[in-house]
Chain A
């Protein structure tokens, strides 16, 4: 069997066996449940919902993709690289018939699979919750748009994983990776204050790329933003893989 496939299967199994993964699913369940309860309460007390329940999946996605999922991705990625180097568990795989480049790709693919699972799981939960409301027909008519937003959210989330993997090559623990990533994102978010011209060149600008898929769709903007995401992905992927290849297991 292809080494990358074997590596990806192993790494995915490792991620799924982590408590963090289960906790994230619980968070998405809690967020969805809270939004639904809030909506039902406002309907009962004020006569109208706080948010249109047909848009509940998008509201949940906006919340999850702003804080929870990026945090989960950074923590998992930090664990898979810096964490495994610090507790030396990576040795178990480095001495197996798989090159470091293939192992690196396997880890990134496994993180990608876990992101897809989290997003699709969140979508399923939020869609089911959205049905607890009046306009069920609208929920179903919004289903393709909402689902495409969830699927497309995988791409900017993958960019976060690739950048976190790159940062992990410089750190000695997953928590340090998390700190650097948070500081980096704060720094990039404050950049527009200094110069607005720099905004298109910041990777953080494109993290809400999935928002192109609901509302007014603009093909040119979508492709343009995707090109930036891909360009950043390729740069950080090559950089990370090179550093991983060169790293000594001290």
Chain B
């Protein structure tokens, strides 16, 4: 399996002494990996480091074999992401926000904007200003922006935040479809353990900025143990 993401000995420590260290893992093509951990364990820090939003202190990040620090523009072209809160220009319409993003990807056909709006159920709101959107709709737009460029890796931090039950279900369907049909890899963090259980092939359990366990979801569930119990056991053990 081709490696889409390789993280080697990643270290990022903030001024307050918190952060992550010794983070190493990789994601193969079409794989869906979940990051699980208590609040402040370092999930978002890992995601931000991969996407260049944070400067890392040490370590190497390769996306599709390209080092992010050496050639950011080429490496990041393969990544779509939604980290923490959705990011957009509020006084522009949904369509114009996507249009601005689209300019960075000349190889993508222009009707892709309508495709992603359709996929995320935003077609009828395409001309509405984003500042008037509900949290769920903003989340949908952020997902549309993350998948626009047909990336090989999609990083989603709490993707179901603000989505209603129907929206969350549609999102899960979309993630499954993209990973199975288009072999897109995912790195997902979520506090909703059932969501991770349904979506992910593999899980990285993080505590205090370190990966304390890596498990295959099917192995855990086939051992008559819920993922929640497994997670609690691992967190308390270490």
Chain A: residues with CB nearer than 8 A to chain B? 1, 3, 6, 9-10, 13-14, 17-19, 88-92, 94-99, 246, 248-249
* Given A3-B73, A90-B87, A249-B48, 4 further pairs, Cβ under 8 A: A13-B96, A95-B79, A97-B104, A249-B54
Q: With the chains together, A151 CA to B105 CA distance in Å?
A: 35
Interface of B is mostly: loop
In this assembly, does B165 line the interface, its C-beta being within 8 Å of a C-beta of chain A?
A: no
Asked if B89 contacts A249 (CB within 8 A), the reply is no
Residues of chain B at interface, number, CB under 8 A: 31
Complex partner residue of B76 from A14, A96, A246, CB under 8 angstroms: A96
Q: Which residues from B are CB-within-8-Å of A91?
A: 53, 83, 87
Q: Which residues from B are CB-within-8-Å of A246?
A: 55
Name the residue among A9, A88, A90 with the largest chain B CB count within 10 angstroms: A88
Q: With the chains together, A13 CA to B93 CA distance in Å?
A: 12
Q: With the chains together, A248 CA to B19 CA distance in Å?
A: 13
Asked if A95 contacts B84 (CB within 8 A), the reply is no
Asked if B89 contacts A92 (CB within 8 A), the reply is yes
Complex partner residue of A96 from B92, B101, B106, CB under 8 angstroms: B101
Complex partner residue of B84 from A1, A3, A14, A88, CB under 8 angstroms: A88
Q: With the chains together, A103 CA to B54 CA distance in Å?
A: 16
For the complex formed, measure the closest distance between the CB of B148 and the CB atoms of chain A, giving whole angstroms.
Answer: 10
Q: With the chains together, A18 CA to B89 CA distance in Å?
A: 10
Q: Which residues from B are CB-within-8-Å of A94?
A: 51-53
In this assembly, does B65 line the interface, its C-beta being within 8 Å of a C-beta of chain A?
A: no
Q: With the chains together, A40 CA to B89 CA distance in Å?
A: 44
Q: Which residue of B lies closest to A92 (CB)?
A: B87
For the complex formed, measure the closest distance between the CB of B216 and the CB atoms of chain A, giving whole angstroms.
Answer: 29
Asked if A6 contacts B104 (CB within 8 A), the reply is yes
Complex partner residue of B103 from A6, A92, A99, A249, CB under 8 angstroms: A6
Q: Which residue of B lies closest to A11 (CB)?
A: B100
Q: With the chains together, A248 CA to B44 CA distance in Å?
A: 13
Q: Which residues from A are CB-within-8-Å of B52?
A: 94-95
Asked if B54 contacts A248 (CB within 8 A), the reply is yes
In this assembly, does B91 line the interface, its C-beta being within 8 Å of a C-beta of chain A?
A: yes
Q: With the chains together, A95 CA to B88 CA distance in Å?
A: 12
